[in-house]
Amino acid sequence: MKHADVYHSMLRDRGRQFVTRHRWTLELDESGLERDAFDDGLTQYCIWMKDGRHAASLRLRRAKYGSMAEVHFPALWRRELSSAVEITRLCASPYLAAEDQSRAVSDLLIGLCRYCQRYDINSLFGIVFPSALRAIRRSGWAADVLESHETSDGPLLLAQWKPSELVAWNIEERTAKREENRSRSIKISERLVA
C-alpha cells in the first residue's frame, strides 16, 4: 500500500470514529475523509498498520507551530507547553475487533515512545475525554492531568505524557499479559465446548 493510501485510510477511519460514531461536528470531504487546518505540512503522524492498512494512529504537532489546545481550548491552554509536542486524533480502525483495536493502540503507543526517544521529544500533551485517558493508562502509560474543563459533553482534560523506554517496556509487558489472559480464556472456552 502506498503512503497516500495509508494516509487516506487513516483519514477515513478518523471520519468513522469521530464523526459517525462519536458524532463530533467535524467536517468530512466528499470521500468521507476527516481533516482540518492542523493536517498540514507541519504535522506528523504516527501510524500503526495491520495487513497493509491503517489500524491505529495519532497526530503529532510541535506546539510552536500552532496547537489545537491553544486555538480551540484557550481555557485549558498553558503557555509552558509551547515547547512540547501536541498529540491529537488518537484513532483505532473501526474494522478491527475490540481486542485487535486494543493491541493496535498499544503497538502505536510503543512506536510513539520510541519515536520520541529517537527525536528527543520529552513531553507530549493533549486534550482528551476521561475515557481516552483511561484507555491510554490501561495500556500502561499514565498521564499527569494539568487542567480540566466542564463541557456539555462532560469534562475535557489537558493531559501530559512523558515518553521513555520504561513506558515502552511497561506497555509491552501489559500487552503481553493481556494476550496471555486472552489466550488462556480461549483455551478454557474450547475445553468447555468440547
Domain carrying residue 120: 3-193
Query: What pLDDT is stored for residue 5 in this prediction?
Result: 87
Q: What is the pLDDT of residue 194?
A: 55
pLDDT in tens, 39-61: 999 999 999 998 888 999 999 99
- Once rounded to an integer, what is the mean pLDDT over residues 64-77? 93
Whether 25 has a pLDDT exceeding 60, the answer reads yes
| 49 Cβ contact partners less than 8 Å away, ≥ 6 residues apart | 1, 6, 55
Which CATH number covers residue 163?
3.40.630.30
> Do the beta carbons of residue 51 and residue 58 sit within 8 Å?
no
Number of domains in the chain: 1
CB 157 within 8 A of CB 145: yes
Rounded Cα–Cα distance for residues 90 and 109 (Å): 10
Percent of the chain exceeding pLDDT 70 equals 93
Closest CA to 121 of 58, 79, 61: 61
pTM for the whole thing? Answer: 0.86
Residue 104 predicted with pLDDT over 80: yes
